């Protein structure tokens, strides 16, 4: 039996709601103020709270904020005689399930209560569901359920325990280093070093000494012998990121390491032997660079024993929701926030965006959104998507207000009718499936259809 707490300083309203909902089979508790309600919530768990907005002391909005901290899974419906657009927006931003005026229709209230309790059941399973999905569609630090990502997971499992060199191909931001780390973490070298070398991020004059080390006196400032990164990585993995940027002279020296596992320090005469596995990555077309003569063909084939191609995010959009949930959880913990999800419309905006910066860009967008968001859900206005601002969204929605104004109630009814009719058409007039598409309960959809006279 669902437990409902009714909060209102108006005794007649409390008694009316208690009688009405008691007849529906709910267990009802009442409170005459926000302070009393807050005390009850600290001692007991309620599935739903129906509270007046304007009350002395702790208002409905304040109570809502406290409830979000004490019992975030509890649904809240606000009722008021003083409806305003601003207070409605504030209530929804703070996580209220719905917002009704005190002249509500009784059936509308019943439907809203049923809908809220139905959604609570879904939300209670959300955290476990998301965790199970992420675990099912995750490999190491990588997350995705697209066929392309599942194929990569399978390939990693096959090649991890071999010593074959791997070349990871993909646009910037697709997660090439994560693939390299996953190969290492699933191999028998996992407890040995994983050394990252950015071939495009180190000046050419310094790159050789970074890779192979140097002897004392080899050049000005070389006051002592120094190990190179290949020596540091002995027994483990060297990850050569942006291998396409490797200068021609160093391509020759790297080829020797790949073929013979030996090299010499800068200024040294002794061969140093190392046992390393080489994993390379690039966002360039190395085959084309070979044709142009800017990358050695023999080195290319030595590195490209096992190619792994990561598709850009725009070509595996089914991975976006999982990645979003992962980054929301990550940055909510980092910033000490209680953000649990993203609004449907905000997610739709992300699904429609091409992500030229791939997963790295998506992570940056979610990090900013979590930092800016003050409610427990990421809203569209806090998504920083390049080329898309509030005016753009308003324009793309096709909404225009004529000079003589509009009738907002009629327009909202028209829009609601269009969505319901479209959902019914898409589901071959199945009300159950249409309700699922619209994310409302079956009873709520039936009530709305009756109100709009949709048959």
Provide the CATH number for the domain formed by 400-455 in this structure.
1.10.10.60
Question: Which residues are within 8 A (CB) of 161 and not within 5 positions of it... i.e. 6 or more apart?
Answer: 186, 187, 188
SS (H, E, C) the chain: CCEEEEECCCHHHHHHHHHHHHCCCCEEEEECCHHHHHHHHHHCCCCEEEEECCCCCCCHHHHHHHHHHHCCCCEEEEEECCCCHHHHHHHHHCCCCEEEECCCCHHHHHHHHHHHHHHHHHHHHHHHHHHHHHHHCEECCEECCCHHHHHHHHHHHHHCCCCCCEEEECCCCCCHHHHHHHHHHCCCCCCCCEEEEECCCCCHHHHHHHHHEECCCCCCCCCCCEECHHHHCCCCEEEEECHHHCCHHHHHHHHHHHHHCEECCECCCCCEECCCEEEEEECCCHHHHHHHCCCCHHHHHHHCCEEEECCCHHHCHHHHHHHHHHHHHHHHHHHCCCCCEECHHHHHHHHHCCCCCHHHHHHHHHHHHHHHCCCCEECHHHCCECCECHHHHHHHCCCCCCCCCCCHHHHHHHHHHHHHHHHHHHCCCCHHHHHHHHCCCHHHHHHHHHHHCCC
How many Cα neighbours within 13 Å face the side chain of 110? 16
Tell me which residue has tokens 């509030």: 390
Using CA atoms, how far apart are residues 199 and 218, in angstroms rounded to an integer?
Answer: 22
Structure confidence at residue 126 (pLDDT): 47
Whether 449 and 413 have beta carbons less than 8 Å apart is answered as: no
1-130 adopts what CATH topology? Rossmann fold (3.40.50)
Provide the CATH number for the domain formed by 139-311 in this structure.
3.40.50.300
Structure confidence at residue 124 (pLDDT): 52
Domain parsing of the chain, residue ranges:
1-130, 139-311, 316-385, 400-455
Using CA atoms, how far apart are residues 407 and 409, in angstroms rounded to an integer?
Answer: 6
For residue 59, CA distances in Å to 44, 49, 52, 64 come to 20, 13, 8, 8
Burial label for 144, CB within 10 Å (0-12, 13-18, 19+), is buried
Q: What is the pLDDT of residues 12-59, one digit of tens each?
A: 999 999 999 999 899 999 999 999 999 999 889 899 999 988 888 888
Whether 268 and 215 have beta carbons less than 8 Å apart is answered as: yes
How many Cα neighbours within 13 Å face the side chain of 33? 6
Whether 109 and 443 have beta carbons less than 8 Å apart is answered as: no
Whether 74 and 117 have beta carbons less than 8 Å apart is answered as: no
Whether 362 and 347 have beta carbons less than 8 Å apart is answered as: no
- Smallest CA-to-CA distance from 346 within 330, 323, 369 is with 369
Q: Do 1-130 and 139-311 fold alike per CATH?
A: yes
CA angle 92, 444, 428 (to 5 degrees): 120
Class of domain 316-385: mainly alpha
Structure confidence at residue 455 (pLDDT): 74
CA angle 79, 80, 83 (to 5 degrees): 120
CB atoms near residue 176 (< 10 Å): 24
Using CA atoms, how far apart are residues 72 and 125, in angstroms rounded to an integer?
Answer: 13
Q: What is the pLDDT of residues 178-197, one digit of tens each?
A: 999 999 999 999 999 999 99
Question: Which residues are within 8 A (CB) of 17 and not within 5 positions of it... i.e. 6 or more apart?
Answer: 6, 8, 28, 50
Tell me which residue has tokens 């309203």: 13
Instruction: Enumerate residue ranges in the chain where pLDDT < 50.
Output: 122, 126, 129-130, 133-134, 390-398
């Amino acid at each position: 039996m669902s437990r409902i707490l009714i909060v209102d300083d108006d005794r007649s309203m409390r008694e009316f709601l208690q009688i009405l909902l008691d007849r529906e089979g709910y267990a009802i508790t009442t409170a005459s103020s926000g302070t009393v309600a807050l005390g009850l919530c600290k001692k007991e768990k309620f599935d739903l709270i129906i509270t007046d907005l304007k009350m002395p002391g702790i208002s409905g909005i304040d109570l809502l904020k406290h409830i979000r901290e004490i019992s975030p899974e509890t649904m809240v419906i606000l009722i008021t005689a003083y409806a305003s657009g601003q207070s409605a927006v504030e209530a929804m931003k703070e996580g209220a399930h719905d917002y009704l005026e005190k002249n509500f229709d009784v059936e509308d209230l019943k439907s809203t209560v049923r809908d809220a309790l139905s959604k609570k059941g879904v939300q209670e399973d959300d955290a476990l569901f998301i965790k199970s999905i992420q675990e099912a569609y995750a490999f190491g630090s990588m997350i995705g359920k697209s066929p392309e990502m599942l194929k990569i997971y399978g390939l990693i499992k096959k090649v991890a325990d071999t010593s074959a060199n791997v070349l990871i191909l993909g646009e910037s931001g697709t997660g090439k280093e994560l693939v390299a780390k996953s190969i290492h973490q699933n191999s028998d070298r996992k407890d040995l070093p994983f050394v990252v070398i950015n071939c495009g991020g180190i000046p050419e004059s310094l790159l050789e000494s970074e890779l192979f080390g140097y002897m004392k006196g080899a050049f000005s400032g070389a006051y002592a012998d120094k190990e190179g990164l290949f020596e540091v990585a002995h027994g483990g993995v060297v990850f050569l990121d942006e291998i396409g940027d490797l200068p021609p002279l160093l391509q020759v020296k790297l080829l020797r390491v790949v073929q013979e596992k030996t090299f010499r320090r800068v200024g040294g005469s002794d061969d140093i032997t190392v046992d390393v596995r080489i994993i390379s990555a690039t966002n360039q077309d190395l085959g084309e660079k070979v044709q142009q003569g800017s990358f050695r063909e023999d080195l290319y084939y030595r590195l490209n024993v096992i190619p792994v191609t990561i598709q850009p995010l725009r070509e595996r959009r089914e991975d976006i929701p999982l990645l979003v949930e992962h980054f929301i959880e990550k940055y909510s913990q980092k910033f000490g926030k209680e953000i649990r999800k993203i609004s449907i419309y905000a997610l739709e905006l992300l699904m429609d965006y091409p992500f030229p910066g791939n997963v790295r860009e998506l992570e940056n967008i979610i990090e900013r959104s979590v930092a800016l968001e003050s409610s427990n859900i990421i809203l569209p206005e806090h998504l920083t998507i390049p080329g898309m601002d509030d005016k753009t969204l308003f324009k793309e929605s096709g909404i225009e207000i004529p000079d003589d104004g509009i009738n907002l109630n009629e327009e909202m009814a028209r829009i609601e009718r269009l969505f319901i009719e479209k959902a019914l058409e898409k589901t071959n007039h199945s009300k159950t499936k249409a309700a699922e598409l619209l994310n409302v309960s079956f009873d709520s959809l039936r009530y709305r259809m009756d109100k709009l006279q949709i048959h």
